[in-house]
């Protein structure tokens, strides 16, 4: 597999950047995770726009224009002759000294990695996931906005560790006010009385591309969708629950903090949304 770094391609073993890059020293940079299904890159424009917005928010100038980035992402996929892939795009602050000052850094490094996706095991899409709420709160929006998909994922990693220690692959993070925000790498939805509900972006979440696609699909299917405030109580009494994300796609949740969601089986609307999502992605 070839890795793109600043317009050149390297074998995996030779794809290297400096240990003085602030992406490594301070997690100073941004990234995206994108999927290609059957040769078509899913929602490329949306992902690249979010990447450039994340960069702008941290005062990082992407060294190539957005249209060039799209071209290079497509070209990398071609070089690797992949029809189905997970695409990781990374922009680091670049090489600096050991001080924090990002303005001392050289050119930001642009990296594109293609890999094969490792989804949750297929049977979980049939049976559904068990998840727990963890104590680690989502970053305060006023400190490090969850809307920035930055290379500093420690907030999510600490929550993930708590989830794994509790025997769960994914974990619910609350915001600093105790409202449901999102999972460590996925957005969360519930269904209640036929309505589809998800935390509003003002709750301090990464506004997922998959989340927005699922909202569109649900509305097209005639469901009322509300971006709102959700508490753990709302999750406990939900009729259905599911998660969305580029890697996970749409996956049902059947147990939250030990409580079965409804009858403990993936819900009807969830299954409909999974089917529609797969059709839209070209699966």
What is the nearest approach in angstroms of ligand PMP to the Cβ of residue 129? 15
End-to-end CA distance of the chain: 24
Look-up of token digits 């409909």: 272
Q: Compute the least distance from the CB of residue 97 to ligand PMP, in Å.
A: 30
Q: Is 120 helix (H, G, I), strand (E, B) or coil?
A: coil
In the bound state with ligand PMP, the residue whose beta carbon lies nearer, of 2 and 278, is 278
> Residue 246 and residue 84: Cα distance in Å, rounded?
13
Binding mask of the shown chain, residues 15 to 34, with x at each position contacting ligand PMP by CB under 6 A: ------------------x-
CA dist., res. 100 & res. 103, Å (int) = 9
Smallest distance from the beta carbon of 90 to ligand PMP, in angstroms?
Answer: 13
Which residue pairs, CB below 8 angstroms and at least 24 apart, start in 135-138?
135/162, 136/162, 136/173, 137/173, 137/174, 137/175, 137/176, 138/173, 138/174, 138/175, 138/176, 138/181, 138/182, 138/204, 138/205
Decide: helix, strand or coil at residue 248. coil
Q: Write out the binding residues for ligand PMP, residues 163-222 only, by CB under 6 A.
A: 182, 185-187, 206, 208-211
The stretch near ligand PMP (CB under 6 A) out of 18-26, 93-101, 241-249, 266-274 is 241-249
Both tokens assigned to 258 = 């030990």
Residue number, 105 or 235, with CB nearest to ligand PMP: 235
Select which of 149, 268, 272, 275 is catalytic. Answer: 149
- Smallest distance, ligand PMP to C-beta of residue 31, A: 9
Residue 244, interface with ligand PMP (CB under 6 A)? yes
Among 76, 80, 156, 270, which residue sits at the site for ligand PMP (rule: CB under 6 A)?
156
Phi, psi of 228 (to 5 degrees): -145, -165
Which residue in the shown chain puts its C-beta closest to ligand PMP?
208
Minimum CB distance to ligand PMP smaller for 76 or for 246: 246
149 is catalytic: yes
H or E element: which one contains 189? strand 187-192
Interface with ligand PMP includes 136 (CB under 6 A)?
A: no
Binding site for ligand PMP (CB under 6 A): 33, 156, 182, 185-187, 206, 208-211, 244-246
The catalytic site residues sit at 149
């Amino acid at each position: 597999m070839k890795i793109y770094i600043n317009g050149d391609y390297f074998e995996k073993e030779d794809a290297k950047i400096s240990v003085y890059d602030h992406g490594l020293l301070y997690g100073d940079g941004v990234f995206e995770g994108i999927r290609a299904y059957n040769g078509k890159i899913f929602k490329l424009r949306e992902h690249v726009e979010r990447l450039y917005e994340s960069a702008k928010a941290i005062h990082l100038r992407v060294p190539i224009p957005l249209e060039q980035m799209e071209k290079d992402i497509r070209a990398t996929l071609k070089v690797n002759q992949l029809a189905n892939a997970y695409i990781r795009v990374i922009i680091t602050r670049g090489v600096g000294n050991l001080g924090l000052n990002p303005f001392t850094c050289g050119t930001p490094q642009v990296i594109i990695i293609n890999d094969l996706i490792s989804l949750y095991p297929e049977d979980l899409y049939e049976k559904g996931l068990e998840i727990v709420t963890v104590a680690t709160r989502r970053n305060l929006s006023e400190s490090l906005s969850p809307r920035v998909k930055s290379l500093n994922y420690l907030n999510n990693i600490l929550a993930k560790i708590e989830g794994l220690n509790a025997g769960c692959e994914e974990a619910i993070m609350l915001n600093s006010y105790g409202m449901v925000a999102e999972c460590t790498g996925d957005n969360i939805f519930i269904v209640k009385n036929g309505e589809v509900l998800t935390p509003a972006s003002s709750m301090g979440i990464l506004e997922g591309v998959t989340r927005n696609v699922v909202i569109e699909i649900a509305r097209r299917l005639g469901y009322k969708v509300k971006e709102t405030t959700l508490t753990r109580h709302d999750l406990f009494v939900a009729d259905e629950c599911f998660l969305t994300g580029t890697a996970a796609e749409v996956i049902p949740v059947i147990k939250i903090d030990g409580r079965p969601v409804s009858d403990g089986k993936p819900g009807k609307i969830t299954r409909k949304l999974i089917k529609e999502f797969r059709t839209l992605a070209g699966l």
